[in-house]
Amino acid sequence: MNGLHFTLKFFPILFGLGILAACGKQVETSVAVSNPPVASRLSEAQASDGQYISWKEHLIDGEEISGVPLSGSDGITMEDLDKDGFPDFVSVHESDVEYDGVADGYIRIAFGSADPDQWESVTLAAGPEASAAEDTDIADFNGDGWPNIVAACELEHLIYFQNPGKNIRSQKWERVIPSIMANRGSFIRVFSADFNNDGKLEIVAPNKGSQSQSEAAKSSNPISWFEITGEPLDGDSWVEHELTRLIIPENSRTVDLDGDGDLDILGASRGEGRILWFENLGTDPISFKEHAINAFEGDTPYPITGVNVDFHDFNQDGRLDILGYHSPEKRKFGWIEQPDSFDKPWKLFPIGDTAPDMLIGVVLADINPISSSVITLDPIATGGTAYSWRYQFEFELGTDYLLQGSDSMIDWSALTEGVDYEVISDESEQSGFNRITIRLLNNSASRYFLRLSAP
């Protein structure tokens, strides 16, 4: 997948698309009411240096700009389609405020410029071709060096658009709905990947069966990957390989989850409230092995809504963890820790709760970039009643260091050698294991020692 995906799913009130820019100061507002809506309030969120974390909106596309009645805005993907050095956005709009089964919708392109308030927007597809358009992926599928577009539509197909390479903003993009993807039910996400590293891209997509959730829940439907054996515009060159069938499958995110150098697939089922993954076995022909992801909050199974997730090695153990949110409430969210063996459960570490709002998308971004480091200490006790460890690190002044370990008896207060430091946060109780962030303050030495001990 080459394009950067965003998702604005299930919010039909979003009639325009905006790009957010992070600022370091409070944003002034001219709204003078006693209880302004959240979007009009001054930010109360502050970074560790005291600056406010706030945003300024830049309108990219919308009816007030283009006159096109956009609604049901779901997905947005970013890529430089015309290679002018400025990012462009491909957005999809279901044109539904309720699921009426009518085959309408829009797929739009907003071409960027040096001015974040100047965009040239065009309609790539409308009506039946873009019927209930839900998601897009951008990649060079035909190998000519230009990014092309594949769109997933809930009514009821995948459609491929080929970049003409010249007069990109005005010339019609050739397109095809491969026959194996036509009238197939509700495609809801789409991703691309080179699963066998042969330089040719494959596509993977879930199909939830019906746009109506009540109808979709009556049967299982596939997550499939599609091989392109010839020219992408030749609909007969697309070959389907079914991975599994689930009740309302809703994701097929490509990611190297096991860190072996090839791309795997993260799947999700809304109807079953779970996520799973497909291990790329690195074989010829391409093959996958299905693995369950059993998440637990303590001893309680934790169902996950998987339509949008993100990945990061939160505990710096060399394994990717998963950021997701609870099913079906879609309010609690946290990260689950990848175990050292895939037959073990994944442990949940809660982050927050957005009640009364419902989550539908999570994206990791460093909106407050600071120098930081994570030091993970995992000593093994071999018996006895007392033990201690002594670690030596090169600490930088003014840098935040997260110290964490899995032994609940470690005493993190035993910082020695005259270190002057402040505790930025202590999440030991919430996280279930020792987790404290410190910042060094003095400059008497560049090397410090950390002693951890337990009675």
Where residue 207 falls among pLDDT bands split at 50, 70, 90? very high
Q: Please answer whether residues 273 and 327 qualify as being in contact, where contact means their C-beta atoms are separated by less than 8 angstroms.
A: yes
Helix, strand, or coil here: 39? Answer: helix
Average pLDDT of 39-60?
74
Whether cis (ω within 30° of 0) applies to the bond prior to 356 is yes
For residue 446, name the pLDDT band (cuts at 50, 70, 90): very low
pLDDT at 214: 85
Find out whether 25 and 43 touch, Cβ atoms under 8 Å.
no
Burial-class residue 232 by CB neighbours within 10 Å (0-12, 13-18, 19+).
Answer: buried
pLDDT of residue 453: 35
pLDDT (0 to 100) of residue 286: 97
**For residue 370, is pLDDT > 80?**
no
pLDDT of residue 86: 94
pLDDT of residue 434: 55
pLDDT tops 80 at residue 431: no
301-344 residue pLDDT tens: 999 988 889 999 888 889 999 998 888 878 888 899 999 999 99
Is the pLDDT confidence value at 14 over 50?
no
Identify the CA nearest to 245 among candidates 278, 207, 212: 207
Supply the pLDDT for residue 347. Answer: 95
Residues 6+ positions from 358 with CB-CB distance below 8 Å: 329, 330, 331
Calpha distance 375→405 (Å, rounded): 9
| pTM as predicted | 0.75
**pLDDT the model gives residue 46:** 72
